[in-house]
Structure 1
Amino acid sequence: MKGPIRSSKGRDFLLTPQNILLTAQMDSTPQSEEDSQMIFNVEILGEGKRVLQPTAESDPKLQELKTFLVDWINFELKHEHIVVKSLDEDLFDGLILHHLLPIHSKDLLATLHLLIALAQHFRPDLPLPPNVSVEVVVMEPTKSGMKTGKAIECLTGSREEEATPKKDVFDQLFQLSPDKINDVKQAILNFVNKQLVNLSLTVTDLESQFADGVILLLLIGQVEGYFIPLSTFFLCPQSMEDRLHNVTLALDLLMEAGMLQQPMDPSEIVNQDLKITLRVLYTLFLKHKNSPKPS
């Protein structure tokens, strides 16, 4: 899991698209959209606390969502031999959540929001049950005592909303800080050439040299530590079909390794789309940036 982005003020930090965006926006953008939304929510809720209405727990859609999230947690933690049966009983002490995120809560509503956010962030392709809303009790302390009220809180949106592509850090980089793109390209270029040194290969142009998939496949095999049989791809691709075959194979390998969260269109790399090429190479960079130079 990716950790939070911290300020670089007073110390050096790894060159990443996130950090470049953060540096570029510190002087020009007062607050991000998420920060503004967070402040808005805090101002609206004040000191109020929300808990599930007891009758809401019998809602079939809520039950379906809870079952879905339990199955997702058990799938993610299968390798640790951890089995969750109940969200409100098994997650309250934080021991289970410790394996997903270091946070503690015994609030089922907050737990649901947390798990939905985790699932959507780390597995945006997961088909969460849509249109789940619950009735909540809003409790807010006042000078005259505790004030209570009821409200409807949305947990998941519609399928159409979930299907809308969300902008990632590279979309933001190209939109907000195009002057920083070369810094990201150079960082990834340095990583690529360091990994390919034993193959006597040098990359100088990311878009064109990765467009036929050959160097991408060799790079994947090099950093992942396995040999890709030459019979499975075209070492000297001659046609668009050959290049598409190579790039498709490379993307399939990255998907199987869990480095890509959702499928990508191989034709975009073949057509030398810089943003897509950077996005793919960055997945390898994130996983192997601290790996020693191949011997």
Structure 2
Amino acid sequence: MFLIDWINATLKHEHIVVKSLEDDLFDGLILHHLLKKLGSLKLDVEEIALTEKKQKHKLAVVLEAVTQCLRLEESQLKWSVDSMCRTIFRKDLLSTLYLLIAIAEHFQPALAIPSNINVEVITIERTSTGLKTESTVECITERRKNKEDESKTAAFDDLFTRAQDKLDDVKRVLLHFVNIHVGKLGLNVKDADTQFADGVFLLLLIGQLGGYFLNLRDFFLNPSSEAEMIHNVNLAVALLTDGGILDFPVNAEDIVKGNMKTTLEVLYCLHSKYKSKEV
């Protein structure tokens, strides 16, 4: 992961190795070393805090120092020290990511932080009728647009607004491409408007094109709810983004709800990358 590699490179000479962001950073020790290295900050805290009370105190001091640094640039913070301290100490990954991105952007603004990083957050609530799950997507880093992104988006905008007569041709080409590869699994897609909504065909297609097997425990092969469908699509988007195939933001709910423009844009990215495999 980018942030883990960044921390380990920064603290290499201190012989500190981070393997898990939430497990290794919760007590403030490594965050303290990171601030000393990046900002030459000297904080009035113990080097090693052994008790829970002292660990929480140290983490709070570190977070307060980060807050003060960011205020020097009048940055708009997404947290309070108290709330962030509680969540990070509970090893909440989302809070830890927000904090590290803020530190990296402040002290090393030239750092090539990946853009358009989204995290799927699943909230589980116990109700009188059972467990209720809700899925949301948190944007950790903003998208950085470039001319190539804009040209791709513009092309599909034109397709749907000015060249409707060519839309069926585009669907036909992309479905032919899809079926060449999912056909190896004994599957066939007939309706591009509906059959990609649950994310299953997308995931199976990505696995076929990338030459790897997706563990069936990682996604829902027969999703029974919108939350499960969103999980599948988010996984597909994450795989495409990590592979450098998808370079623009995709809202999973758009595909789940049958947004044809978004679906075709994703399929087109796959086609552009792997069209030579059609032969």
After TM superposition, the score normalised by the length of structure 2 is 0.47
Kindly indicate whether structure 1 or structure 2 has the higher relative contact order, using CA contacts under 8 Å at least 6 residues apart: 1
Q: What TM-score does the superposition give when structure 1 sets the normalisation length? A: 0.44
